Structure 1
């Protein structure tokens, strides 16, 4: 049942909830954490954890994407980022880390825009993906809808296993009088690789994306910790309600399509293990993490985190965020943790939450009871 609230005489709005508003509730049964499976499979690709590393330059380089794969997850490289614009992006990363710490500094934002004005080089897309393929991990790369038609043949020729089309908001029906829009349904139909597409933040847009043939739908606007989309555009959708709405679209599309299952992937706004737990509890099959992985010692951002929105050439709507460093990537994901704030041993925490509430796998855990319990403190 959906409850609407009167905003004023001419407008009503639906109440929506963030992950911070929720908590999971134990059941009558508990389990040994060693008996809990956190494995996840999409299409033909199976992973030891339901974690995708977001295609953000502060979190993923070819090297960290390879490391992510070897640790049991999926690393997605931003194919419009520094590694496809610069032969050696290390000096650029050093410069970004040294920019003004004032997130609202026009000079720092202008410099970010200048850095990302360097052209994307097709040969660098090829070489970066080849580096990942040679390492023997599942190869995934990401393009925005605006650049997909220009570079997708290069990406496919390089041997990508999973293609990600990621933007702030991606729809199945983009209307433009100025250019031929990307026909997602036709595009995905003609590809031989699974496509993950998003973001979507509601039932109807997600259902239409599922009908294009996507293997997975990203829920959210991308870059939760870094985005200022709500401040700049007034657009926002609290994650708990968004995930639940898209999970409902998954259920209805499963019936509509005669059994085709599309994965729901929560993208953004999950900085701690507790957020991951709650995202899966309300219906996500997997999570796409940015800031949580940008805290790793190996992360290219050197303790800083930013998304593509931070350097948009006309309307930047993202900050560089100082997330700090908590430990090696393996420790961030698998532990052991030496922090009490949910920033490391993310998978161990997920496994323990599932065991404490009595569930043995991720799909089962989507049935866990949740309650509204907004944070009043850091407890």
Structure 2
């Protein structure tokens, strides 16, 4: 089973508003493959009708029976989960859960060009690539190590869509490198776009630079020594920083690693994660003074987080003010259990069962 199943089945693959080349059906836009189970049920129904005299079952009763079986199979676990855990148990569960940032999904207009840039300029490795022609998209997973131990990017290319709107809400990705200046020189030599030359962070010794990839996603290069996780940051803008911190602590079990205010530039940031910044990927939440809402565009999709129990996790998310956009349970066609939600700022996150995800990687 491809390891991309759990995330890609949950990701929105929305074409650019200006493009008419792709018209995906609703399930395909969500990445959910068509399942024959419903059609097979109806075929069996037709067969049963040919033998009605033998079974003496009316058509209406058979339809109700088939629907009832399907409904019970789909909803049994979710109902049990929602009625067997209290508020206190749900919040306590978050503290004990084994969680890890797995990957981030976003859309690109030229997959081969982006892969070439990431591998040659940023030093990533192409881990896997798969094409799904019946749903008109291609995936590529890239990173600095295997998916079972590293945070990776999942690039999604939709057939015929060569441009997306990144919007103003997404900030940047962070890459830790040993020499920022050499990396910038390499990127320039390859024709890459540098939007901030190497320089020290104001009031600190860290050297940084900013570049853009072929689709316009910003990458911050941070000069650090050797680290087990070079893909070190995902920065998102939020409209209420304290509210966001509270949600990510309680709903996702993240730790507030640091909080820095810059009144001169009128912004405050908070680093959230599951371990120290120099060894783990962290989520950088950024608040610009007085800005409550941002345009999210249609380019960035979501982050995936591993969990030991998607049902308990979904209950905790609800209690903490998150909106569940996909009820917890196995994905159609595979056994991987997920749940998906929106945080108070509308950022999407998918929670993936740890054991199921490990099986996918096998």
TM-score scaled to structure 2, two decimals?
A: 0.25
Q: Tell me which of the two structures has the higher relative contact order, counting C-alpha pairs closer than 8 angstroms and 6 or more residues apart.
A: 1
Q: Select the structure that is richer in strand.
A: 2
